[in-house]
Structure 1
Amino acid sequence: MSKSVTRFLKKSLIGEGNFGQVFLALDQETSVHVALKIESSNDTSCQLINEATVLKNIQGGVGIPKFITSGQSGDRNYLAIELLGPSLEDKFLENDKKFAVAVILDLGEQILSRLQYLHSKQYIHRDIKPRQFLLGPAEDPSTIYLIDYGLTKSYIIEKSNAHIPYMENRPFVGTAYFASLNTHQGIEQSRRDDLESFCYILAYFCSGELPWMPKIKIKTTETKILVKKMTSSPIDLFKEAPSEFLQIMIYVKSLQFEEKPNYEYMNSLFQAAKRRENINGHTLNWSISTENNFERHKMTHLSTNSKSGLKNKIRKNKRSMSHKLKRSRKKTNGLAADSIIVSKSCLKQIQSFIQTSDYDFSKTLEIKEMPEFKNRDILLKKIGSAMKVQQFLSIPKSRTEDIDNLDNHKIASEEPSAKSACEQTNCKLF
């Protein structure tokens, strides 16, 4: 064992994942406890090496763990960073999956700030979820830290200083519960995908769960999560949240692949909500009441123009579906046409089938009564490709009164070809 790694005395295992282990260790040079991450050097993913490189490049930011040292010893890579507190997921479970509105607003503001800083350093995280955010050390418990940069990559090409190109059929990278729809569908990730995952975190903290999370701990495939996620409207996703969260989600979904997000706009929405709640500065008081009463925060009506604009957008998306499906003939890749192309009547069946309120979405993988589809994976791809926007904007008439200012944002309407990523090794559920 190298002199460098013998510097640390392992005390106990504090974490374990697909790519290695994390130990509480004593730095014998400074007598300070640290987090020591270890992975096999035979792992072709080399996530720890990537994490060390990223961490060194982003040092100095608020909520960024201090890099201590890294290296290789025998058949192991190691990385030592400062020891932090519990994760937001741990705190959420400890509080019976209930956070007070003041806490959620503070967490949202801090998480957005961490993402803005990371993006300013030309990196995207690609695995944003509650477990990646830790409370600070004992001397700084109110600061939220962003960790785990093993899947992080630069969105800028170093030689040309250009944005990475839009690509399809990419392997799944991230955690299925919090991944963006584009990530599920095999589209190259960019800054917008980190932010969509951030929106799912907000919804999770407000509701205690996400619609695609199973009620009991059972094995859930990435494809089943995709189908449920695709057919969950943003209105229902944020029905227990301040209206500003829905506005953030709508804005994030409008972002183009290379577009720089307007972090100031999103932050202003958090500030507006905090002013309404008479919240000043940062407060992570976990003991305050968790009785979240958002009734006065919700958008209670639509102007006539907003209603008209929403209906026009939905009609436009419906009209474009047939054209999009015809264009998909060019992407058959040798597969039988009747396995790919959706007839109008079949499309109506799919819409009715999926939108049935009491339908168990896991049964989507067992569709047999639609002869146009001989391959169930192809069915899911076409639903993802042709109905992405329409499903996202599918809002029950009884809930349309909850939307406001929709016309102030453009709606993303690109039509990427979907790639099922169920077999990819970087897909995680938690």
Structure 2
Amino acid sequence: MKSESEEDVGVDKVPRRAKEVDEDVKQNRNEGDPEKDSEQQKSSEERKRKPRRSHSAKRSTLIPGSIISTANDRYTILSLIGSGGFGDVYRVKRVKKIKGQTNTYALKTETIDFDNKNLNRLKIEMTVLQLCNKQQPERRQHFVSMVDKGRTEEFKFIIMDLVGTSIDIIQREMPNHSFSFGTSAKLGLQTIDAIADLHEIGYLHRDIKPQNFSVGVKDKASTIYLLDFGIARKFTIKDTKAVRLPRESVRFMGTVRYASRHCHLSKEQSRRDDLESWMYMLLEFFDYKALPWAKSINRTHVCDEKVKLFSGDFPKSVAVLPQKIHKIISYIDSLEYSNEPDYDFIKTMIRQSARKQNADINAKYDWQPDTPNDTKVKKSSKKERKSKRNSAELEDKEINKLCELAFS
């Protein structure tokens, strides 16, 4: 995938028609059962009221200084990075240092639970990472490398490259939880590239959110990484590009705040659903308070608000965004289950929006040292400004025409 610093996609790049269906895919769309969905919602709410047994509460953590062994190596536990419902993430160091290589990694565990034979999240993550790591360099730049794996009597684990802070934490620590337009657009470009590369190997993420994107470290500090593939799902048939037929009903998978409308309605997810979740995340990059449902835990209410957004009933924070962002919303909404999204079109719209806002997508991120403030753009001569304005207006007209053709 091209990075955000490369040239814009030409104006002859238009989104594939939303009604087009891949030739090797049969359409067999099944409508969700509203009554069943209502029962599932009620059951979910009842479960929330009951005290839930915590997996992490009964799980002991590894002691710093202890040694974990694999078939090929040994690692010292340095510290606990974080914990989830089914396992923990630790910072570890290879006991035997290898010159010229990184010797500090992340170790991710998953508790072996014989009562829950469906607990295969780590296996799915390992499969996805192994596939990603086999891709060409430009298609694996947004994924960490898995370097080792193993198991003990209590848990399975994988060892992978360390990354930095999540985008969610970075944004919450920014003044007013705010990113500049340039940083928001740049994040949009890198994150859509990561999703496109995941889709290229035939997998959906199904939990796209800022918590699952992190910055790199050291010389990779400007690279955004897509993480946590525990509920990823293969959407293609074996090693082909043919798309699997949708299941009739699918339980809710993901995070309420960012889940797609189809996810709320217990329908099978597809590539468009990852993009819908990405769109909610992008809107929050532009304005942390952009999502009216952000603080709601009522899934029905949240879904209704998302339907309003995609019908064009925008909250003020979304309405004020450039029209190109609105076109991305319309385009994602137009996609059918089996459509392959036109990621290049989406990236073009982001770049056009940034140009309209005088935002520099090649500048450093807001949180990086010496970041230029994209509201303080270096002044150019009257002649240069007029030339840029005429060029942008002409390009806008061309793209508008092509968009009309694409959505007709």
Of residues 285, 295, 306 in structure 2, which corresponds to 1:205?
285
Q: Displacement of 1:406 after TM fit?
A: 7.8
Q: Distance in 2 between matches of 1:282 and 1:145?
A: 19
The alignment of Structure 1 onto Structure 2 pairs a total of residues equal to 297
Could you tell me which residue of structure 2 aligns to residue 138 of structure 1? Answer: 218
Q: Distance in 1 between matches of 2:343 and 2:145?
A: 25
Could you tell me which residue of structure 2 aligns to residue 335 of structure 1? Answer: none
Q: 1:133 to 1:36 in 2, by over 3 A?
A: same
Could you tell me which residue of structure 1 aligns to residue 148 of structure 2? Answer: 69
What is the identity, as a one-letter code, of the residue corresponding to 1:93? R
Q: Is the 8 Å Cα contact of residues 99 and 290 (structure 1) preserved in structure 2?
A: no
Q: Is the 8 Å Cα contact of residues 41 and 72 (structure 1) preserved in structure 2?
A: no
Residue 264 of structure 1 aligns to a residue whose secondary structure is helix
1:4 equivalent in alignment to 2:81: no
Could you tell me which residue of structure 1 aligns to residue 306 of structure 2? Answer: 229
Q: Distance in 1 between matches of 2:252 and 2:353?
A: 35
Residue 45 of structure 1 aligns to a residue whose secondary structure is coil
What is the identity, as a one-letter code, of the residue corresponding to 2:253? V
What is the identity, as a one-letter code, of the residue corresponding to 2:220? D
Could you tell me which residue of structure 2 aligns to residue 285 of structure 1? Answer: 366
1:253 equivalent in alignment to 2:333: yes
Residue 354 of structure 2 aligns to a residue whose secondary structure is helix
Q: 1:404 to 1:204 in 2, by over 3 A?
A: farther
- Deviation string, structure 1 residues 257-310 (Cα, Å, up to 9, x no partner): 001111111111122223332625363233554879xxxxxxxxxxxxxxxxxx
Of residues 267, 273, 297 in structure 2, which corresponds to 1:220?
297
Q: Is the 8 Å Cα contact of residues 364 and 372 (structure 2) preserved in structure 1?
A: no
Could you tell me which residue of structure 2 aligns to residue 151 of structure 1? Answer: 231
* Pairing 1:415-426 to 2, within 5 Å after superposition: none
Q: Is the 8 Å Cα contact of residues 178 and 197 (structure 1) preserved in structure 2?
A: yes
In structure 2, list runs of 5 or more residues that go unmatched.
1-66, 377-399
Could you tell me which residue of structure 2 aligns to residue 390 of structure 1? Answer: none
Q: Distance in 2 between matches of 1:280 and 1:180?
A: 28
Q: Displacement of 1:202 after TM fit?
A: 1.0
Q: Is the 8 Å Cα contact of residues 185 and 350 (structure 2) preserved in structure 1?
A: yes
Q: Is the 8 Å Cα contact of residues 163 and 216 (structure 2) preserved in structure 1?
A: yes
Q: Distance in 1 between matches of 2:306 and 2:82?
A: 29
Of residues 37, 53, 57 in structure 1, which corresponds to 2:108?
37
Q: Distance in 2 between matches of 1:280 and 1:132?
A: 22
Could you tell me which residue of structure 2 aligns to residue 48 of structure 1? Answer: 122
Q: Distance in 1 between matches of 2:401 and 2:212?
A: 32
Q: Percent identity?
A: 28
Residue 159 of structure 2 aligns to a residue whose secondary structure is strand
Q: Distance in 1 between matches of 2:269 and 2:123?
A: 21
Q: Displacement of 1:36 after TM fit?
A: 1.0
TM-score calculated relative to the size of structure 2: 0.67
What is the identity, as a one-letter code, of the residue corresponding to 1:213? A
What is the identity, as a one-letter code, of the residue corresponding to 2:314? D
Q: Displacement of 1:225 after TM fit?
A: 2.1
Q: Distance in 2 between matches of 1:2 and 1:8?
A: 5
Q: Is the 8 Å Cα contact of residues 250 and 409 (structure 1) preserved in structure 2?
A: no
Could you tell me which residue of structure 1 aligns to residue 178 of structure 2? Answer: 98
Q: Is the 8 Å Cα contact of residues 208 and 277 (structure 2) preserved in structure 1?
A: yes
Could you tell me which residue of structure 2 aligns to residue 17 of structure 1? Answer: 84
Q: Which has the higher contact order (CA 8 A, sep 6+)?
A: 2
Q: Displacement of 1:63 after TM fit?
A: 1.3
Q: 1:234 to 1:203 in 2, by over 3 A?
A: farther
Q: Is the 8 Å Cα contact of residues 106 and 283 (structure 1) preserved in structure 2?
A: no
Q: Displacement of 1:405 after TM fit?
A: 8.9
Q: Displacement of 1:120 after TM fit?
A: 1.0
- Deviation string, structure 1 residues 61-107 (Cα, Å, up to 9, x no partner): 11110111122211201111111110100110010310000000100
What is the identity, as a one-letter code, of the residue corresponding to 2:299? E
Q: Is the 8 Å Cα contact of residues 256 and 297 (structure 2) preserved in structure 1?
A: no
* Pairing 1:270-309 to 2, within 5 Å after superposition: 270-276=350-356, 277=358, 279=360, 281=362, 283-286=364-367, 287-289=371-373
